[in-house]
Amino acid sequence: MLIARLITAAVLLAACIGAMFLLPPTWWSVLLLAILLAAGYEWSGLAGRGPGARWAYCIVLAATAMAILWVVESAADAATGKRVEHTIYAAACVFWVLVAPVWLARGWRLKAALAAVAGWIVLVPAWLALARLQADPLQLLLVLGIVWLADTAAYASGRAWGRHKLAPRVSPGKTWEGVAGAAAAVAVYYVTVSAFAPGQPWASGRAGMLVFAGVTVLSIVGDLFESLMKRQAGVKDSGSLLPGHGGVLDRIDGLLAALPFAALLLRQ
């Protein structure tokens, strides 16, 4: 299992970085569309929908996502496209900052209409953010690095020193020590990026602190939120597409919450 997990992680990381830097925007968006479809299929499955309803939901997600991207990129003037784009990101941020914490605290269950709306807000803005942030692939890679590092550090420090549960009813394995480890690792990453990436002015000073701290916190919220969905569905993983890792949602849960926030700040 460990070998399969490591091989899958290495292949995914290499493919992601290579595509990010080498693919033109159109093909990058198409690649992301495949990920959106897989994530949508898994999300609908966690909500208890059958295969037919799951595919229908995926089609709606893909159609609306592409329609939004077309509106953003073909608007009569850049300002209009940017307003549409920022509105999508802002809606997602409202969900993750205000709605998701209450959802986690109260343990709301996914039901038909609620599942459809929540899934759209969770998946489509993150897809749009990932598609648009590729305009500066180095910037996007640095942002993704925050989430990846926070997740890895939280896991490692939680395993080593975890004693105080973060959200025992949602994800018993996550601890406050893991959160502290993630914060410490991201702080070191912030200092490093600030020093060695002078071409990224957003990554230093107060703006950098806001981006790095916000992305870190929201990635944890996204992780917890997906854990709640899986717990309510009675499954360990969201799917089985990725050997050793489970489903697509299991790999992108933190990104779903963090990317719209990052794009809202960086896509000016």
Which pLDDT score is estimated for 6?
62
Print burial letters for 240-264: b (CB count within 10 Å at least 16), e (below 16).
Answer: ebbeebbbbbbbbbbbbbbbbbbbb
Stretch 66-82: mean pLDDT, rounded?
Answer: 87
Q: Provide the residue range defining the domain that includes 73.
A: 2-266
Q: Does residue 1 register a pLDDT over 60?
A: no
Stated pTM of the model: 0.93
pLDDT reported for residue 126: 97
Q: What is the dihedral of CA 159, 164, 168, 170, to 10 degrees?
A: -60
β-partners of residue 246 are 242
pLDDT above 70: percentage of residues in the chain: 96
Residue 4 has pLDDT above 70, yes or no: no
User: In angstroms, rounded to a whole number, what is the distance separating the alpha carbons of residues 248 and 268?
Assistant: 29
pLDDT over threshold 80, residue 239: no
Domain count of the fold of the chain: 1
Closest CA to 189 of 204, 168, 201, 178: 204
Question: Is residue 246 over pLDDT 80?
Answer: no
- The whole-chain average pLDDT of the chain stands at 90
Which phi and psi angles does 174 have, rounded to 5°? -90, 135
The token pair at 146 is: 């925050």
